[in-house]
Copies of this chain bind each other. A is one copy, B any other.
Amino acid sequence: MRVHYECLTCQINQCQKIVELSTDDLEKRKRAMIFSAKLFAKHFNESSIPAVVGSDIFLELYEHLGVDDPFRGYKAKSNKLAQRVVENLKKKLKIDLRTALKLAIAGNVIDFAVGYEPEKLEKDILKMLEEELYIDDSERLFEKLGEAKVLLYLTDNCGEICFDKLLLEAIREEFPKLTIYIAGKEGAIINDATISDLKEAKLDEVGNVISTGTRIVGVPIGRVSDKFLEIFNRADVIIAKGQGNFETLGEIKDSRVFFLLKAKCKPVARELNVPLGAMVCKAFK
Protein backbone atom coordinates (compact mmCIF):
# COMPACT_ATOMS: atom_id res chain seq x y z
CA MET A 1 0.00 0.00 0.00
CA ARG A 2 1.27 3.45 -0.94
CA VAL A 3 0.75 6.59 1.14
CA HIS A 4 -2.67 8.25 1.07
CA TYR A 5 -3.11 11.97 1.58
CA GLU A 6 -3.85 11.61 5.30
CA CYS A 7 -0.59 9.75 6.05
CA LEU A 8 1.52 12.89 6.31
CA THR A 9 -0.44 14.50 9.16
CA CYS A 10 -0.75 11.18 10.97
CA GLN A 11 3.00 10.56 10.84
CA ILE A 12 3.88 14.11 11.86
CA ASN A 13 1.57 13.69 14.84
CA GLN A 14 3.54 10.53 15.67
CA CYS A 15 6.77 12.55 15.43
CA GLN A 16 5.31 14.99 17.96
CA LYS A 17 4.45 12.06 20.25
CA ILE A 18 8.04 10.75 19.92
CA VAL A 19 9.43 14.19 20.71
CA GLU A 20 7.17 14.61 23.76
CA LEU A 21 8.16 11.20 25.11
CA SER A 22 11.84 11.91 24.53
CA THR A 23 12.47 15.29 26.15
CA ASP A 24 10.77 17.91 28.34
CA ASP A 25 13.02 20.66 26.96
CA LEU A 26 10.80 22.93 24.85
CA GLU A 27 13.70 24.22 22.74
CA LYS A 28 14.88 20.68 21.97
CA ARG A 29 11.31 19.73 21.10
CA LYS A 30 11.07 22.66 18.70
CA ARG A 31 14.37 21.85 16.99
CA ALA A 32 13.29 18.21 16.68
CA MET A 33 9.98 19.16 15.03
CA ILE A 34 11.77 21.45 12.56
CA PHE A 35 14.18 18.57 11.87
CA SER A 36 11.13 16.31 11.32
CA ALA A 37 9.71 18.70 8.70
CA LYS A 38 12.95 18.36 6.74
CA LEU A 39 12.79 14.57 7.02
CA PHE A 40 9.31 14.49 5.50
CA ALA A 41 10.39 16.74 2.61
CA LYS A 42 13.33 14.39 2.02
CA HIS A 43 11.67 10.97 2.37
CA PHE A 44 7.96 11.30 1.69
CA ASN A 45 6.85 10.77 -1.90
CA GLU A 46 3.86 9.41 -3.80
CA SER A 47 5.14 5.84 -3.97
CA SER A 48 6.25 5.64 -0.33
CA ILE A 49 4.89 2.78 1.76
CA PRO A 50 3.56 4.41 4.95
CA ALA A 51 5.09 1.92 7.39
CA VAL A 52 8.50 2.13 5.70
CA VAL A 53 8.76 5.88 5.18
CA GLY A 54 7.41 6.44 8.70
CA SER A 55 9.99 4.11 10.22
CA ASP A 56 12.86 5.70 8.30
CA ILE A 57 11.76 9.13 9.52
CA PHE A 58 11.17 8.01 13.11
CA LEU A 59 14.58 6.31 13.30
CA GLU A 60 16.37 9.44 12.04
CA LEU A 61 14.39 11.41 14.60
CA TYR A 62 15.42 8.95 17.36
CA GLU A 63 19.03 9.55 16.36
CA HIS A 64 18.58 13.33 16.37
CA LEU A 65 17.03 13.11 19.83
CA GLY A 66 19.59 10.60 21.11
CA VAL A 67 16.96 8.08 22.18
CA ASP A 68 16.60 4.40 21.43
CA ASP A 69 13.12 3.46 22.66
CA PRO A 70 10.94 6.43 23.64
CA PHE A 71 7.87 4.18 23.86
CA ARG A 72 9.44 1.84 26.43
CA GLY A 73 7.19 2.97 29.28
CA TYR A 74 4.15 3.17 27.02
CA LYS A 75 4.77 -0.37 25.79
CA ALA A 76 5.15 -1.72 29.33
CA LYS A 77 1.85 -0.10 30.34
CA SER A 78 0.10 -1.52 27.26
CA ASN A 79 1.31 -5.03 28.08
CA LYS A 80 0.26 -4.78 31.71
CA LEU A 81 -3.18 -3.52 30.78
CA ALA A 82 -3.68 -6.16 28.07
CA GLN A 83 -2.43 -8.91 30.38
CA ARG A 84 -5.03 -8.05 33.02
CA VAL A 85 -7.81 -8.01 30.45
CA VAL A 86 -6.70 -11.32 28.91
CA GLU A 87 -6.67 -12.98 32.36
CA ASN A 88 -10.20 -11.73 33.08
CA LEU A 89 -11.46 -12.90 29.69
CA LYS A 90 -9.95 -16.36 30.24
CA LYS A 91 -12.04 -16.65 33.41
CA LYS A 92 -15.24 -15.41 31.76
CA LEU A 93 -15.19 -17.01 28.31
CA LYS A 94 -14.62 -20.37 26.74
CA ILE A 95 -11.96 -19.37 24.27
CA ASP A 96 -12.18 -21.59 21.19
CA LEU A 97 -10.18 -21.02 18.00
CA ARG A 98 -12.73 -18.67 16.45
CA THR A 99 -13.12 -16.58 19.60
CA ALA A 100 -9.34 -16.39 19.95
CA LEU A 101 -9.08 -15.18 16.35
CA LYS A 102 -11.56 -12.38 16.98
CA LEU A 103 -9.86 -11.45 20.24
CA ALA A 104 -6.54 -11.18 18.41
CA ILE A 105 -8.13 -8.81 15.90
CA ALA A 106 -9.92 -6.81 18.60
CA GLY A 107 -6.66 -6.61 20.59
CA ASN A 108 -5.38 -4.37 17.80
CA VAL A 109 -7.24 -1.43 19.45
CA ILE A 110 -4.79 -1.36 22.33
CA ASP A 111 -2.71 0.93 20.20
CA PHE A 112 -4.88 3.76 21.49
CA ALA A 113 -5.88 2.26 24.78
CA VAL A 114 -3.24 3.13 27.34
CA GLY A 115 -5.51 5.77 28.79
CA TYR A 116 -8.23 3.12 29.14
CA GLU A 117 -9.42 1.75 32.42
CA PRO A 118 -8.95 -2.05 32.12
CA GLU A 119 -12.69 -2.41 32.75
CA LYS A 120 -13.42 -0.13 29.79
CA LEU A 121 -11.04 -2.00 27.48
CA GLU A 122 -12.57 -5.31 28.54
CA LYS A 123 -16.06 -4.01 27.83
CA ASP A 124 -15.03 -2.73 24.40
CA ILE A 125 -13.32 -6.01 23.54
CA LEU A 126 -16.42 -7.99 24.57
CA LYS A 127 -18.53 -5.73 22.37
CA MET A 128 -16.19 -6.29 19.41
CA LEU A 129 -16.55 -10.05 19.95
CA GLU A 130 -20.23 -9.68 19.07
CA GLU A 131 -19.41 -7.88 15.80
CA GLU A 132 -19.14 -9.84 12.56
CA LEU A 133 -15.83 -9.77 10.71
CA TYR A 134 -16.38 -7.44 7.76
CA ILE A 135 -14.16 -9.61 5.58
CA ASP A 136 -14.01 -13.15 6.87
CA ASP A 137 -11.58 -15.62 5.30
CA SER A 138 -11.14 -17.44 8.60
CA GLU A 139 -12.54 -20.77 7.38
CA ARG A 140 -9.87 -20.86 4.70
CA LEU A 141 -7.26 -19.94 7.30
CA PHE A 142 -8.28 -22.81 9.55
CA GLU A 143 -8.34 -25.24 6.58
CA LYS A 144 -4.86 -24.16 5.54
CA LEU A 145 -3.59 -24.46 9.09
CA GLY A 146 -4.89 -28.06 9.11
CA GLU A 147 -2.66 -28.86 6.12
CA ALA A 148 0.32 -26.72 7.08
CA LYS A 149 3.65 -27.68 8.62
CA VAL A 150 5.03 -24.22 9.28
CA LEU A 151 3.16 -21.12 10.51
CA LEU A 152 4.82 -17.71 10.56
CA TYR A 153 3.03 -15.23 12.83
CA LEU A 154 3.92 -11.57 12.27
CA THR A 155 3.20 -9.49 15.37
CA ASP A 156 2.31 -5.81 15.56
CA ASN A 157 2.14 -3.76 18.79
CA CYS A 158 2.88 -4.34 22.44
CA GLY A 159 -0.30 -4.90 24.42
CA GLU A 160 -1.84 -6.56 21.40
CA ILE A 161 0.76 -9.34 21.69
CA CYS A 162 -0.97 -10.65 24.83
CA PHE A 163 -4.02 -11.32 22.63
CA ASP A 164 -1.76 -12.87 19.98
CA LYS A 165 -0.56 -15.28 22.63
CA LEU A 166 -4.16 -16.35 23.25
CA LEU A 167 -4.66 -17.05 19.55
CA LEU A 168 -1.37 -18.92 19.31
CA GLU A 169 -2.34 -21.08 22.32
CA ALA A 170 -5.62 -21.94 20.61
CA ILE A 171 -3.83 -22.72 17.33
CA ARG A 172 -1.31 -24.95 19.12
CA GLU A 173 -4.08 -26.88 20.80
CA GLU A 174 -6.01 -27.37 17.54
CA PHE A 175 -2.97 -28.05 15.34
CA PRO A 176 -0.36 -29.57 17.66
CA LYS A 177 2.02 -30.65 14.89
CA LEU A 178 2.56 -27.13 13.53
CA THR A 179 5.97 -25.54 13.79
CA ILE A 180 5.30 -21.94 14.83
CA TYR A 181 7.57 -18.92 14.29
CA ILE A 182 6.63 -15.61 15.91
CA ALA A 183 8.32 -12.55 14.44
CA GLY A 184 9.06 -9.27 16.19
CA LYS A 185 11.20 -6.29 15.20
CA GLU A 186 14.99 -6.35 15.53
CA GLY A 187 14.97 -3.13 17.59
CA ALA A 188 12.59 -0.58 19.03
CA ILE A 189 10.33 1.35 16.65
CA ILE A 190 7.32 3.21 18.04
CA ASN A 191 5.16 0.75 20.02
CA ASP A 192 5.88 -2.30 17.87
CA ALA A 193 6.90 -5.49 19.65
CA THR A 194 10.62 -6.26 19.47
CA ILE A 195 12.02 -9.77 19.98
CA SER A 196 12.82 -8.77 23.58
CA ASP A 197 9.24 -7.52 24.08
CA LEU A 198 7.94 -10.85 22.76
CA LYS A 199 10.18 -12.87 25.08
CA GLU A 200 9.25 -10.68 28.04
CA ALA A 201 5.54 -11.30 27.32
CA LYS A 202 6.40 -15.04 27.15
CA LEU A 203 5.44 -15.55 23.53
CA ASP A 204 8.33 -18.04 23.42
CA GLU A 205 6.05 -20.44 25.34
CA VAL A 206 3.90 -20.79 22.20
CA GLY A 207 6.46 -20.77 19.38
CA ASN A 208 9.94 -19.79 18.20
CA VAL A 209 10.47 -16.09 18.61
CA ILE A 210 12.44 -14.65 15.70
CA SER A 211 13.37 -11.20 14.39
CA THR A 212 12.46 -9.71 11.03
CA GLY A 213 16.04 -8.48 11.03
CA THR A 214 15.00 -4.85 10.76
CA ARG A 215 13.51 -2.08 12.87
CA ILE A 216 11.22 -1.01 10.04
CA VAL A 217 7.50 -1.47 10.85
CA GLY A 218 5.88 -4.37 8.97
CA VAL A 219 7.80 -6.74 6.70
CA PRO A 220 9.58 -4.72 4.01
CA ILE A 221 10.83 -7.63 1.90
CA GLY A 222 13.93 -5.84 0.58
CA ARG A 223 15.15 -5.00 4.08
CA VAL A 224 14.50 -8.08 6.23
CA SER A 225 17.34 -10.47 7.10
CA ASP A 226 18.20 -13.52 4.98
CA LYS A 227 17.44 -15.67 8.01
CA PHE A 228 13.96 -14.22 8.29
CA LEU A 229 13.42 -14.46 4.54
CA GLU A 230 14.30 -18.16 4.60
CA ILE A 231 11.54 -18.78 7.19
CA PHE A 232 9.13 -16.44 5.35
CA ASN A 233 9.65 -18.43 2.13
CA ARG A 234 9.37 -21.79 3.91
CA ALA A 235 6.12 -20.96 5.80
CA ASP A 236 2.91 -22.62 4.59
CA VAL A 237 0.69 -20.06 6.31
CA ILE A 238 1.54 -16.50 7.36
CA ILE A 239 -0.64 -14.60 9.82
CA ALA A 240 0.06 -10.87 9.51
CA LYS A 241 -1.29 -8.71 12.32
CA GLY A 242 -2.13 -5.04 12.03
CA GLN A 243 -1.80 -2.22 9.55
CA GLY A 244 2.01 -2.13 9.21
CA ASN A 245 2.14 -5.71 7.99
CA PHE A 246 -0.73 -5.04 5.59
CA GLU A 247 0.96 -1.91 4.25
CA THR A 248 4.20 -3.76 3.48
CA LEU A 249 2.81 -7.15 2.33
CA GLY A 250 -0.60 -6.27 0.86
CA GLU A 251 0.75 -5.62 -2.63
CA ILE A 252 2.43 -9.00 -3.18
CA LYS A 253 -0.97 -10.74 -2.93
CA ASP A 254 0.62 -13.92 -1.59
CA SER A 255 -2.18 -16.43 -0.94
CA ARG A 256 -0.35 -17.80 2.13
CA VAL A 257 -0.80 -14.50 3.98
CA PHE A 258 -3.86 -13.83 6.18
CA PHE A 259 -4.19 -10.24 7.33
CA LEU A 260 -5.85 -9.85 10.74
CA LEU A 261 -6.55 -6.26 11.59
CA LYS A 262 -8.94 -3.58 12.63
CA ALA A 263 -9.05 -0.80 10.02
CA LYS A 264 -8.07 1.99 12.40
CA CYS A 265 -7.43 4.73 9.84
CA LYS A 266 -9.16 5.94 6.71
CA PRO A 267 -6.34 5.07 4.27
CA VAL A 268 -6.29 1.39 5.31
CA ALA A 269 -10.11 1.25 5.36
CA ARG A 270 -10.18 2.83 1.88
CA GLU A 271 -7.55 0.41 0.59
CA LEU A 272 -9.50 -2.61 1.91
CA ASN A 273 -12.81 -1.08 0.87
CA VAL A 274 -14.27 -1.52 4.36
CA PRO A 275 -15.79 0.97 6.83
CA LEU A 276 -13.50 2.67 9.33
CA GLY A 277 -13.17 0.41 12.39
CA ALA A 278 -14.07 -2.80 10.52
CA MET A 279 -12.49 -6.04 11.74
CA VAL A 280 -10.96 -8.10 9.00
CA CYS A 281 -9.46 -11.55 8.35
CA LYS A 282 -8.41 -11.25 4.71
CA ALA A 283 -6.44 -13.39 2.29
CA PHE A 284 -5.75 -12.78 -1.40
CA LYS A 285 -6.73 -15.72 -3.63
Which A positions have Cβ atoms within 8 angstroms of B?
3-9, 12-13, 15-16, 19, 26, 29-34, 36-38, 40-42, 44-46
Contact = CB atoms under 8 A, between A and B. Distances in A.
Q: Which of A3, A6, A31 has the most CB of B within 10 A?
A: A6
Contacts of A4: 26, 30
Contact of A44 (B7, B13, B34): B34
Contacts of A31: 46
- Number of this chain's copies in the assembly equals 2
Contact of A8 (B6, B26, B36, B44): B36
A61 to B, nearest CB: 13
A34 B8 contact: yes
Contacts of A41: 37-38, 40-42
A34 B16 contact: no
Secondary structure call for the A interface: helix
Contact of A9 (B6, B16, B44): B16
A20 to B, nearest CB: 8
B34 A37 contact: no
Contacts of A32: 5
Given A5-B26, A9-B15, 5 more contacts: A5-B16, A9-B16, A30-B46, A37-B37, A40-B40
16 contacts: A3-B30, A5-B16, A5-B19, A5-B26, A5-B29, A5-B30, A8-B12, A8-B16, A8-B33, A8-B34, A9-B12, A9-B16, A12-B12, A34-B45, A40-B41, A41-B42
A40 B30 CA distance: 13
A26 B271 CA distance: 12
A171 to B, nearest CB: 38
A16 B6 contact: yes
Nearest to A37: B40
A191 B32 CA distance: 29
A37 B46 CA distance: 12
Q: Which of A5, A6, A40 has the most CB of B within 10 A?
A: A5
Q: Which of A6, A8, A15, A42 has the most CB of B within 10 A?
A: A8
A6 B30 CA distance: 8
A161 B13 CA distance: 32
Nearest to A2: B30
A57 to B, nearest CB: 11
A29 B3 CA distance: 11
Contacts of A7: 33
A15 B9 CA distance: 9
